Amino acid sequence: MTEVRLDRAVVTVPDDGSPERRPRTILGPVDLVLDERRVSVVGANGSGKSTLLRLLNGLVAPTSGSVTVDGLDTVRDGGRVRRRVAFAFTDPISQLVMPTGREDVELSLRRKHRSRAERRSAADAVLNRFGLSHLADQSVYDLSGGERQLMAVAVVLATDPGLLVLDEPTTLLDRRNILRLRALLDGLPQSVVVATHDLDLAADADRTLVVDGGRIVFDGEPRAAVEHYVRLVDGS
């Protein structure tokens, strides 16, 4: 299992609202060790969930403190961290950067396989593993929302990372596609950290974090965490 460690991690941004543009803390300080197979993160919009997730593969650097993945610092060893931590965004269309799914998987594999034939064969194996072979040559614009999200997950998993981070992957999906995505996630050997507003998906984890106002306000058993989050939202 991949181990993620956050040590007094803080993220601040310049506050455009104040005349002095003084730094505004949007997350932290956070102390965490994540080594469970499935971790979910819940919280209201703007609570800091996405920032927390972006810390995990170095997309966002902590302003102070540190984040490590299997002992690798996300700032100093960014490239190596990103090989271990895959990231899937809410909107898959911004993530699929090639015209077709097959070409996007091949793009992920370019550094691993220099030969075109090897790359093609490895891409076919990845698409087959995720049951997406029939969509391989379709334009990504012609895929349904659910198909796109599954393709985006397959694309980032093509390099066999140890951890998959998903930022609200079900937001744009209907119920049927949410179930398809959940089935896919259930079958993954990788560790998964998922931020979501889907409380069923959140409760399906081994551990759940509740984020509010840039802080982890609950960390523990998923059902209890979801109840805490619901009380938090209903009470506000």
Partner 1 sequence: MRGQGLFAAPVPGTSLVHRTPLWLKLVGVLCVGILPWVTSAGWPLAVVTIALVGVVLVARLPARRLARSMRGLLPVLVVLLAFQWWAHDLAYAVRVVLGIVNAFVAAGILTATTPVSDLLDGVVRAARPLGRVIDPEVVALTLGIVVRSVPWVAGSFASVRESARARGLDRDPRAVVVPSVVHVVSFARATGEALAARGLTDPAGDDEAPGRHTAPTGSP
Q: Which two tokens stand for residue 116?
A: 């075109």
Binding partner 1 by CB under 8 A: which of 38, 82, 207, 228?
Answer: 82
**46 lies in the site for partner 1, by CB under 8 A:** yes
Percentages of the chain per state (helix, strand, coil), in multiples of 5: 40, 30, 35
- H helical segments located in the chain: 49-56, 78-84, 101-108, 116-129, 145-157, 175-186, 199-203, 222-235
Q: Does 187 bind partner 1 (CB under 8 A)?
A: no
Give 88's strand partners: 166
Q: How far is the CB of 25 from partner 1 (least distance, A)?
A: 10
Report, in Å, the least distance between residue 182 CB and partner 1.
22
**Residue among 4, 6, 9, 26 that touches partner 1 (CB under 8 A):** 26
Smallest Cα–Cα separation from 191: which of 67, 24, 36?
Answer: 36
- Maximum alpha-carbon separation in the chain: 58
Q: Contact with partner 1 (CB under 8 A): which of 2, 40, 68, 95?
A: 95
18 in contact with partner 1 (CB under 8 A): no
- The yes or no reply on residue 191 touching partner 1 (CB under 8 A) is no
Does residue 190 interact with partner 1 by CB under 8 A? Answer: no
Give the Cβ contact number of residue 179 at 10 Å. Answer: 14
Q: Which two tokens stand for residue 61?
A: 């650097």
List residues near partner 1 by CB under 8 A.
11, 13, 26-27, 46-48, 50-51, 54, 57-61, 63, 74-83, 86-87, 89, 91, 93-95, 97-100, 102-103, 106-108, 110-111, 116, 119-120, 137-142, 155-156, 214
